[in-house]
Chain A
Amino acid sequence: MLIYLMMDIDGENMDRRPSRTTNFPEVTIDFRADLPASKSPFPFSLVRIKRFEGPVHRLIACLRLQLKMDGEELTEQETALYDRQIRVWGVDAQRRLSKSHILVSGMKGSVVEFCKNIVLAGIGSLTLTDNRMVTEEALLSNFLIPPDENMYSGRSLAELCCDSLKNFNPMVHVSVEKGDLLSFDEDFYDKFDAVVVSCCSFTAKRTINEKCRRRPKRIAFYTVDCRDACGEIFVDLQKYNYMQKKLDDTIECQLQYPSFEEAVAAPWTSLPKKVTKLYYAMRVIEGFEESEGRNSGEVSISDLPCVLKMRNELCKKQSLNESHIPDSLLERLLLAGTSEHPPVCAIIGGILGQEAIKAISGKGDPLKNFFFFDAEDGKGIIEDINSSH
């Protein structure tokens, strides 16, 4: 059953005209957005009928429909919008998605791509944090921000991205959380089913990962970084159960993920021989930034001598041949600095979106626990990095 609603959510007028059956006379309803997103998958609690023409029994049917929206079933409008993807992952998965809440931090290329993907997929709510102001560089790889200084001056990246993302799917509640990621209390994270951090230091990744792990409910944790034409995703689903499809059978599987700190602490000699060079190279640069107190990506080619020195020290300590981390690869990653490669952001943001959808819906085999892509060889590789090797 579909109704034609003129809605007023967050002060924005939205026209939701369903494509098919319109069996109700035109009704104008006013929704008030007083409920915090975390309490309800739909950001309204108060329904006020502004204008109604038609028999009373239709009004009742209409309100019942609203109650249903808070409950179990997908509305016909959702079924119509999500038709093609429900055919991929099923109604149950779609329902779980529509009740999920995701936090992201660091609104750069791959995270922006990720946000687009999951807002389109129809999650319940998305919360953005990024206090940085817009820079020329941020505009280069960000399709959410109009290149008009009058529009963006004085506003944070998160606020600007929020404005655009809202339009992508009116059924998803998108909001901004101000403040420094590291300053949030642990229970702040309870609101979320998945947390994605990017553009931040090793310490920040580690700290937020630990906060998530200490909460009573499982919160999926992801980090994502792109340097030059390379991207890295880290996944921590803690203890994760899922149904694996094998031919006609489904078997229950359990995966045990290490934390970010545990994973990267795995001795390099214990890792499988063919671990991608990118894994080591990213650790070297991450270690360099950490030791110098720099922000993520705040490096340039002039740092190469120091980075090479660090590589040599690390290799010595870890008993790894230096040829596993070639000079040319480090040079490439340093040259890029904080600039981004839009096709790689699209690929990394796509894989990350897929993984978050898998983790929330419980459908599909999640990747464990690192993913790497390098446009140079075109390979998208999964690496399982943990200390139990």
Chain B
Amino acid sequence: MASEQQAQAIKNAKVLMVGAGGIGCELLKTLALSGFQDIHIIDMDTIEVSNLNRQFLFRQSHVGQSKAKVAREAVLGFRPHINIAASHANVKDPEFNVEFFKQFNVVLNGLDNLDARRYVNRLSLAAEVPLVESGTTGFLGQVTVHVKSKTECYECQTKPNPKTYPVCTITSTPSKFVHCIVWAKDLLFAKLFGDKNLENDLYVHSNDTSSSSENAEDVFERREGEDPEKYGRRIYDHVFGHNIEAALAMEETWKNRNRPKPIYSRDVLPDKLVQQNENLDKNFTVDNPLSVSAMTSLGLRNPQDVWSLVENTRILLESLKLFLRKREKEIGSLVFEKDDQLAVEFVTAAANIRAASFGISMHSLFEAKGISGNIVHAVATTNAIIAGLIVIEATKILQNDVKNCRVTYCLEHPSKKMLLMPVEPFEPNKSCFVCSEAPLSLEVNTYHTTLRNFVEKIVKAKLGMNLPLIMLGSSLLYEVGDGLEEDTVANYEANLEKVLAELPSPVVSGTKLTIEDFQQELSCDISIKHREEFDEEKEPDGMLLSGWTKSSTSVVSQSVPLEREDNEHVQWSNQ
């Protein structure tokens, strides 16, 4: 039984919970049962059907409603007299500032993305509120404790970046199914249905010299009054036939690789599509555009089946036809979405045909959807275990017993007989730019790289700043925020397009930039070092940020097989 002191600490605590998803539902329940009386919960998401297998506070009838609010109602059902505040909002909204964080005794995270995790980490540090962070994927999970200046912060160890692939692997030399998916989704789908103004490597790399770029441009445009199937076959033959043949002409490329086979639609599917599809057009009655389906009109039912090349060809042509017929208005502005059935069908079929061409094994729609939508594996049991561990750590923090706090790993296979393995939290990393405000350095070609590139790829993506302010000495180079003068904004806009060395205050080798984000109360110095050449494959950003070395105490965490390199699409999540 909990001691009196423990019970009091729990009763008096004010807790902030960020995330009411997989971990969040379990956590809110366990907090309420454990005697917590004052909980504020923030979640911007609404409930989806695929949540219901583990987010047990939600029912079918709640689909579409706020997770935070429904979770609150459900828990008040068995604990009516406790105080739960629910915000259906983004934790990065300005209302959740440092002052807001300061009212809590502990912050508990059940988040599904790096961006929000970094934000909460910074706000917790600034407000000096201890943070318990967590994540699960499949049977694996972990709970970590972050107390300012006593343990490492969430960002003391660099997190593996989402996997990116070299451009030429995608456009010319795929060797895994995921490469075909990226090609189908980011190149072919985006080219046909997305914003025409966006850069697209589809023909720049794959088409090479065999046809001029003006001709290639024509290929993807539907001709005036062109029959949808004819148009589909023309694109099909271009990307799976002609382009492959053109690529085969580059002998050098195939010296150490398997040569792909060109595929033409007439060889796979000699007859017109309609002949196999003369039965009713079942999509006729569908009013929700997201439920238009090529599978339905072709009578394919099981998303677990791996389609033959013929079936993939039919799906591709049919889905293209359906886009043209049923969703014409969206063409030109479509962005791939994992819940867009027709988009997933198109991408699955295109990826499979490309896979067939390159001798890569084909996959089912279910699998292709998982890869293309970056869907994270999740089960209820791991979330329940992790939530229990979070409450145990939070309780220690509330009793000021930080020295007994543990980082706990939930494993799939026992290590030293343990399925739940506690280790001591690590010390703060002295070179962490977040909690130790250590300086960073950046190698960059200052004559080629624009300020925009620097802001997008370094300041936002790597440093996670939302409202950055960039200074060189006392002069401001860039700033985001409300209430700026119009001409100041215009000035900054102009700066964005300039290369670093040509800014009003030139950024060159040896320059020290200061970047601040007031919302996060974070400031960071970056020393610039000019470098001419970058390896496109290894350094696709054309910049190299360094400074925070991995702390030496992280050996144990690396021996735990939580983040597997071979699994490109595993990322920490509670989704």
Contacts and interface: CB of A to CB of B under 8 A. Distances in A.
B172 interface: no
Contact of B377 (A84, A121, A146): A84
Nearest to B282: A23
Interface stretch (B88-96, B416-424, B544-552): B416-424
B389 interface: yes
B370 interface: yes
Which of A79, A122, A346 gathers most chain B CB within 10 Å?
Answer: A346
B304 interface: yes
A16 interface: yes
Contact of A341 (B2, B48, B79, B301): B2
B59 A88 contact: no
Contacts of A383: 417
Interface stretch (A137-145, A199-207, A234-242, A260-268): A137-145
Contact of B54 (A25, A84, A335, A351): A84
Nearest to B77: A146
Contacts of B392: 343-344, 375, 378
A367 B413 CA distance: 9
Interface string A102-122: 000000010001001100111
A17 interface: yes
A15 B59 CA distance: 10
A102 to B, nearest CB: 14
A351 B383 CA distance: 11
B385 A378 contact: no
A86 B369 CA distance: 13
Contact of B387 (A146, A170, A346, A353): A346
Contact of A371 (B2, B387, B419): B419
Contact of B30 (A84, A140, A342, A378): A342
B54 A145 contact: no
Nearest to A228: B1
Interface string A80-92: 1111111111010
B50 to A, nearest CB: 5
Contacts of A375: 392
Nearest to A335: B1
A55 to B, nearest CB: 9
A350 B383 CA distance: 8
Contact of A87 (B48, B293, B370, B388): B370
B26 interface: yes
A87 B375 contact: yes
A16 B60 contact: yes
B422 A336 contact: no
A116 B385 CA distance: 13
Contacts of B387: 343, 346
A167 interface: yes
A317 interface: no
A380 B304 contact: no
A87 B75 CA distance: 29
Contact of B379 (A85, A116, A336): A85
B1 A120 contact: no
Contacts of B80: 147
Interface in B34-90: 34, 48-50, 52-54, 56, 59-61, 63, 75, 77-80
B318 to A, nearest CB: 15
Contact of B388 (A25, A145, A347, A354): A347
B215 interface: no
B412 A350 contact: no
Interface in A203-238: 228
B339 to A, nearest CB: 8
Nearest to B389: A347
B575 interface: yes
A177 B50 CA distance: 32
Contacts of B422: 377-379
B381 A140 contact: no
B50 A83 contact: yes
B78 A146 contact: yes
B341 A382 contact: no
B52 A81 contact: yes
Nearest to B284: A23
Given A143-B29, A346-B385, A380-B420, A17 B60 contact: yes
Contact of B384 (A81, A142, A349): A349
B50 A80 contact: yes
B380 interface: yes
B418 A167 contact: no
A302 to B, nearest CB: 15
Given A22-B291, A341-B2, A380-B419, A113 B63 contact: no
B142 to A, nearest CB: 12
A104 B377 CA distance: 28
A199 to B, nearest CB: 17
Contact of B420 (A16, A88, A341, A378): A378
B1 A84 contact: no
Given A337-B1, A342-B30, A120 B56 contact: yes
Contacts of A290: none
Contacts of B351: none
B553 interface: no
Interface string A340-366: 011111110111011001000000110
A150 interface: no
A84 B419 contact: no
Contact of A339 (B1, B48, B414): B1
Contact of A81 (B33, B53, B417): B53
A122 B48 CA distance: 17
A347 B286 contact: no
Contacts of A25: 285
B406 A364 contact: no
B292 to A, nearest CB: 8
Contacts of A228: 1
A22 B285 CA distance: 9
B382 A350 contact: yes
Contact of A88 (B48, B49, B286, B377): B377
B366 interface: yes
B291 A20 contact: yes
Smallest CB-CB A-B distances: 9 pairs: A380-B420, A346-B388, A378-B422, A342-B33, A350-B385, A350-B384, A343-B388, A347-B388, A19-B49
Interface of B: 1-2, 26, 29-30, 32-34, 48-50, 52-54, 56, 59-61, 63, 75, 77-80, 138-139, 282-283, 285-286, 290-291, 293, 296, 301-304, 341, 366, 370, 375-385, 387-389, 391-392, 395, 406, 408, 410, 412-414, 417-422, 575
16 contacts: A21-B291, A23-B282, A80-B50, A87-B377, A120-B53, A143-B29, A168-B56, A337-B1, A346-B387, A351-B381, A353-B381, A353-B384, A354-B379, A364-B139, A378-B420, A381-B418
Given A82-B53, A141-B33, A168-B56, 15 more contacts: A16-B60, A17-B63, A21-B286, A21-B291, A81-B52, A84-B53, A84-B375, A147-B79, A341-B34, A343-B388, A351-B419, A371-B419, A378-B408, A378-B420, A380-B420
